[in-house]
Amino acid sequence: MTDFAQQGLDATALAAGLVQGEYSCTALMQDVLARIAARNPDINAVCLVDADHAAEQAEANDRLLRGLDTAARAALLRERPFFGVPSLLKDLGTADPRLPSTMGSAYFGQVRFEREGDLTARYRKAGFSLIGRSTSSELGLSPTSEGPSYGAPTRNPWNRRHSAGGSSGGAAAAVAAGMVPIAHGGDGGGSIRIPAACCGLVGLKTSRGMTPFGPARGESWGGMVSEHMLTVSLRDCAGVLDVAAGASPGAPYAAPAFARRFADVVRDVQAGAALAPLRIGIVAQDGPALDAAVRDAYARFGRQLAALGHDCVAVPFPFAPREVMQHVVPVIAQNAWAAIEAHGRATGTTALDGLQKTVQSMVRYAQRMTASDYVRHVNGLHALGRRFADYLAATGIDLLALPVLAREPAPIGRFGLDWDDYEDYRFGEDSLLQYSPFCPLANATGCPALALPAGLSPNGLPLGMQLVAPLGQDDRLLAVGAQYEAAHPWQRYAPGA
């Protein structure tokens, strides 16, 4: 079997190899299951594997291919561009009746689903073989993935002493460690972009409404969450968006309309098609404090974008991180508490001691709020969206470049959910506010944001930079990302993967 990690193959290449008969779906699946068995004990990125169903999917795919000639195989790949590619769902509720979820929490036990979610169905229709679940933080509340319900923290394949990020940390670690070539995540405050940055991957937080939550839900966290996959390449990122994008019936938000397939945009740019120069904002020194390694990487990122022909201009930071977080944090807390309360009613569970210490404090914080408080904070998010649109118009920029994190990936234990006070965890001295001041902007405003690998720190840890675009300009982000990848290719998997 081809060693996809050592050869740097992405999911698009793997699917093509499978359909063209370079290797079998069964061989690839056996290799992936062996990789998980060998590497997961050290990394702890995968919390559930359905090996029997994985084997069944691979065998069924091989049987299908045996009956197809060359033309039929080409047609199959056009229809199912990720045919036979093994992948994982994040352990945070994306509905699949075959794969129960713990929600990253001992309190929830195993949540089973009666119906397949619209997003899961689209992934399967595109050819993915969904074989298990990846670790998360409890209810997605941390930028690391260290829940005790998994037995051990999820570690960064680049440096085991550091976090893989969160809350989609298991997805990023599983990909970076070469267990699977691509994995699903969700981003409500940076939860795709942070682990992508920590593990040297591509992470897109899509425009609000781009990917579906139906049929069970219409939105998550007041519209702040977007779901997508963490990838090693821009063409994988774009290809998955092509198969997943679009509102499902009854959705509360309209998905933006695009004239071209995202994969075609990326392909054309990387084939040498001209990309019109853009005006890209680089934040002046009035923004949040950055560690030296991040500051240097951010300056280099600006120079690299300028060398690609873009007009990089100094702009003020749009608004203080605390202005964003004062609305983001309460909305997250209220939604998380609502999920906890609903589970308690459904199961008769009254004791909250199954929740981690910081989450128990979050429950008390949420209980102090009123319904009118919640409405005020949702309105505050919407006001931030208006203000950000005004900021883009006033500065005349097409995109805003920002670091993903203000520090290199956190050491294990630094942001575990064992703090006594939720507000201190979020707002206190050397809290999440200082570690991740940039990501929630895109969630609050609904705008798309793309995290890209942007080199290594002096400690050998990946650093990520992001580009933020106006709502509905995901295609523009992918085009610039493709241009950047072609000029500055990265190591797709961690050393030793």
CB 402 within 8 A of CB 123: no
Is 436 one of the catalytic residues? no
Q: Are 397 and 318 in contact (CB under 8 A)?
A: no
d(CA 308, CA 484): 8
Question: Of 168, 191, 207, 220, which is the active-site residue?
Answer: 191
Cis amide leading into 207 (omega within 30): no
As a whole number of angstroms, the distance between CA 225 and CA 258 comes to 21
For residues 366 and 306, give the distance between their C-alpha atoms in angstroms, rounded to a whole number: 45
**CA–CA distance, 38 with 41 (Å, rounded to integer):** 7
DSSP bridge partners of 456: 462
User: Which amino acid makes up residue 19?
Assistant: V
CA distances from 168 to 120, 325, 406 (A): 16, 20, 19
Strand boundaries in 251-370, DSSP class E: 279-283, 311-315
Structure tokens that stand for 295 in this block: 């500051």
Burial grade of 227 (CB within 10 A; 0-12, 13-18, 19 or more): buried
Per the annotation, the verdict on 167 as an active-site residue is yes
Residue 231 phi/psi, 5-degree rounding, is -135, 165
Cα 321 from Cα 439, distance rounded (Å):
9
Q: Is 357 a catalytic residue?
A: no
CB 203 within 8 A of CB 192: yes
- In 3D, which of 175, 188, 301, 165 has the Cα closest to residue 240? 175
Q: Strand pairing of 155-156 and 129-134? A: unpaired
Catalytic residue, from 101, 137, 163, 167: name it.
167
166 phi/psi in degrees, rounded to 5: -165, 165
Residues 6+ apart with CB under 8 A from 91: 47, 48, 101, 102, 103, 104, 133, 134, 135, 136, 170
Q: What is the DSSP letter of 257?
A: P
Q: How far apart are CA 33 and CA 110, in angstroms?
A: 22
Q: What is the CA radius of gyration of the chain?
A: 21
CA distance 250 to 31: 41
CA atoms within 13 A on the CB side of 371: 0
Active-site pick, 24, 87, 90, 226: 90
Residue 355 in tokens: 């929740």
Catalytic residues, by residue number, are 90, 167, 191
